[in-house]
Chain A
């Protein structure tokens, strides 16, 4: 799966992608085409390149070579189509030849800039000066282009006559004939130039792709610096210290709410997460999913410490996919998704994230379904994290509980809008097998109708 597909189902990763300061369309294409990798060697190599890029950006950010390189990348056009035509021996027109000449010049300038901050070995650009020379017969050194007189001996006299006639302005027929002849010669020259460039097509493509990758790598490095991201370490478990969800953190900061990073360690098998409503269980699952996608696409991850393992994929069932138009109820959409996850996990090594399974059906059957999912996933090779409000599920799995509502956490008077200040989002090991019963308390804190809450409390006590 490529980033292009991953971001469709992961708003957190989409947010990461949206915040990449890419200079060129080619760089953006490079990013979106990046695969979710299971190759530890490639990932470690990419993170090594990131380390070097980050060091270079920190050191050179406002210095000339770096600024020059970013400017070069800003001027880079994605000529994939043109280069494919060239490789297929389709003659290029004047505008396309101009674009190729411009790319050759950008490549030379970019190579100089990259050398300026010492990354030539890591980001080598091919030498395509010869391409520039082919398109610069008068040795102007400028990236302007037209079918120069020196390309064909017939052009200079023709244009001289044309110019004289145009100034005199009295022989439209001859002017038209000359223009036609000029166009024919120009067409011939375009074919000849294209033929000369055909052998260079792979090298020009390589230059384009390498510049696109440079853009992508530098944007990743800039993001890692701006967001304080951490290089992942591959190990036997998933362990995050101070994991954050960048999208939510930004939202909270902009609305003046506090944001609490979370520590979590999970291994193979099933880990259950319980906790009151509003305690951040769903956000936790989403954060882990986004972080894992970032890691396996070669990014640094949003936590202070990042240890993780590689999976064949991240499988999630989070949120309500009710779709009336497809005739699917909330329950139907969810159970189909969970069934797919169970099937896939028989053959694949997955990171499975399931948010409150079977919450929209009757509690008796719902609980049974959850118990079945837990047993099946325990036997699979995947690492599974399930949030639930069901207690007494049995099974020999690890349980974590979100600490949740703490009344004396803040001195400020509590109201429905600042409830976030009174929730401790950290996780604790839970051996009890029970779940917190705080639904009514939270409802009353949210200022819900008193009669509703009192009646519910009555029923509970009966």
Chain B
């Protein structure tokens, strides 16, 4: 029973994919079945819309999410009406989504449901709290498309990363793309003292002096960095980007020499390419996280929506070696 015990050390879990069709739902079904066998009360919701019977982009058959007795779930009114379970309504939210208000219900007789949820991480955080308050030992958030924001450590405590042939049918490329995201997820965390000093910062780019005190550099967004040049280092060689980190910021910092430490909030705030990142680190600079996400496992879906099928064993082995992390074929663990 891979990785389920590890999940149980946490209160909330997100399942995110590098791409659509990387097997998030299969992975969720596996986790739900295992937790049911262990008798753990769980709550489930989604970011955006998921759980449809037929994939709305590629029109491929998609597995539905099966919920067991006692599981609480949050979905939209319209999807609730299509559920194939017997369940009790416990709460209806006053906010409306395109598919009606979000409802919370508890399953009486197991069956399949369509999951949808809040589109913003703020509301999602509230829902995770609501599920936990209702008695769920673990709240699971199913991802949608290739959205990563739900895996931010400020939203969910731990994550499972789904990858697969949908990312690339070329094994080398698949490994490279997965390894890059994996390396960003696993970047080092700053010291607790620095985290305490930087956490309250809400906006802009900040310079950190030798005493660890942050100073506003007067740049509201990395998109406004312009020709700031070495002026960026006037307080010290540690910088904190409270919002998004883009290639543009890395490219502005790379020529300024070595030993620059750039701190980002968490990996979901990184919008960077491997090229820009490699140039940045090759100069002796490094990227760190205010808070690191706890990656529980990487799963693989060897089939792509276009019909490619990768060799499961060879791909899992190649990925495991590259990531130094166990990688599971979701189709196989489900059996």
Q: Write the residues of chain A forming the contact surface with B, with a CB cutoff of 8 angstroms.
A: 25, 77, 93-95, 98-99, 102, 144-146, 159, 162-163, 166-167, 175, 179, 182
- Contact indicator B89/A98 (Cβ below 8 Å): yes
B86 at the interface (CB under 8 A from A): yes
Contact count A vs B, C-beta below 8 Å: 49
Of A77, A95, A159, A162, most B-chain CB atoms within 10 Å: A95
Tell me the complex Cα distance, A166–B84, Å: 11
Tell me the complex Cα distance, A144–B105, Å: 9
Contact stretch, chosen from B12-20, B107-115, B215-223? B107-115
B77 at the interface (CB under 8 A from A): yes
Q: Across the interface, which residues of B come within 8 angstroms of A163, CB to CB?
A: 86, 109-110
Partner of A93, one of B81, B106, B111: B81
- Contact indicator A179/B111 (Cβ below 8 Å): yes
Partner of B86, one of A98, A102, A146: A146
* 7 closest Cβ pairs, A-B complex: A98-B89, A146-B88, A163-B109, A166-B110, A145-B89, A95-B77, A144-B88
Tell me the complex Cα distance, A422–B108, Å: 74
Q: Write the residues of chain B forming the contact surface with A, with a CB cutoff of 8 angstroms.
A: 77, 80-81, 84, 86-90, 92, 94, 100-101, 103, 105-106, 108-111
Supply 8 further A-B pairs (C-beta < 8 A) apart from A77-B94, A95-B89, A179-B111: A98-B103, A99-B92, A102-B92, A159-B86, A159-B109, A166-B109, A179-B84, A182-B86
26 contacts between A and B (CB under 8 A): A94-B80, A94-B81, A95-B77, A95-B81, A95-B92, A95-B100, A95-B101, A95-B103, A98-B92, A98-B103, A102-B92, A144-B88, A144-B90, A144-B106, A145-B88, A145-B89, A146-B86, A146-B89, A146-B108, A159-B86, A159-B108, A163-B86, A166-B109, A166-B110, A179-B111, A182-B86
Q: Do most interface residues of chain A lie in helix, strand or loop, or is the interface mixed?
A: helix
Q: Across the interface, which residues of B come within 8 angstroms of A167, CB to CB?
A: 110
Tell me the complex Cα distance, A25–B89, Å: 22
Q: Across the interface, which residues of A come within 8 angstroms of B77, CB to CB?
A: 95
Tell me the complex Cα distance, A175–B81, Å: 17
Partner of A162, one of B100, B101, B109: B109
Q: Do most interface residues of chain B lie in helix, strand or loop, or is the interface mixed?
A: strand
Shortest CB–CB separation between residue B66 and chain A, in angstroms?
9
Tell me the complex Cα distance, A166–B81, Å: 19
Shortest CB–CB separation between residue A245 and chain B, in angstroms?
32
Tell me the complex Cα distance, A99–B77, Å: 12
What is the chain A residue whose CB lies nearest that of B84? A179
- Contact indicator A94/B110 (Cβ below 8 Å): no
- Contact indicator B92/A162 (Cβ below 8 Å): no
Known: A25-B94, A167-B110. A94 touches B89 (CB 8 A): yes
Tell me the complex Cα distance, A159–B101, Å: 27
Shortest CB–CB separation between residue B24 and chain A, in angstroms?
22
Shortest CB–CB separation between residue B122 and chain A, in angstroms?
18
Q: Across the interface, which residues of B come within 8 angstroms of A77, CB to CB?
A: 92, 94
Tell me the complex Cα distance, A95–B88, Å: 10
Shortest CB–CB separation between residue A75 and chain B, in angstroms?
8
Shortest CB–CB separation between residue B316 and chain A, in angstroms?
27
Q: Across the interface, which residues of B come within 8 angstroms of A182, CB to CB?
A: 86
Known: A77-B94, A159-B109, A179-B111. A144 touches B89 (CB 8 A): yes
Q: Across the interface, which residues of A come within 8 angstroms of B94, CB to CB?
A: 25, 77
What is the chain A residue whose CB lies nearest that of B101? A95
Tell me the complex Cα distance, A94–B77, Å: 9
Tell me the complex Cα distance, A179–B87, Å: 13
Q: Across the interface, which residues of B come within 8 angstroms of A144, CB to CB?
A: 88-90, 106
Of A145, A166, A179, most B-chain CB atoms within 10 Å: A166
- Contact indicator B110/A146 (Cβ below 8 Å): no
Shortest CB–CB separation between residue B69 and chain A, in angstroms?
8
Q: Across the interface, which residues of A come within 8 angstroms of B103, CB to CB?
A: 95, 98
Q: Across the interface, which residues of A come within 8 angstroms of B90, CB to CB?
A: 144
- Contact indicator B89/A162 (Cβ below 8 Å): no
- Contact indicator B111/A166 (Cβ below 8 Å): yes
Q: Across the interface, which residues of A come within 8 angstroms of B101, CB to CB?
A: 95
Q: Across the interface, which residues of B come within 8 angstroms of A162, CB to CB?
A: 86, 109, 111
Q: Across the interface, which residues of B come within 8 angstroms of A94, CB to CB?
A: 80-81, 89
Q: Across the interface, which residues of B come within 8 angstroms of A95, CB to CB?
A: 77, 80-81, 89, 92, 100-101, 103
What is the chain A residue whose CB lies nearest that of B110? A166
Q: Across the interface, which residues of A come within 8 angstroms of B106, CB to CB?
A: 144
Tell me the complex Cα distance, A168–B103, Å: 29
What is the chain B residue whose CB lies nearest that of A158? B86
Shortest CB–CB separation between residue B190 and chain A, in angstroms?
36
What is the chain B residue whose CB lies nearest that of A155? B86
Tell me the complex Cα distance, A98–B100, Å: 14
Q: Across the interface, which residues of A come within 8 angstroms of B84, CB to CB?
A: 175, 179
Shortest CB–CB separation between residue B335 and chain A, in angstroms?
14
Q: Across the interface, which residues of B come within 8 angstroms of A179, CB to CB?
A: 84, 111
Of B89, B100, B108, B110, most A-chain CB atoms within 10 Å: B89
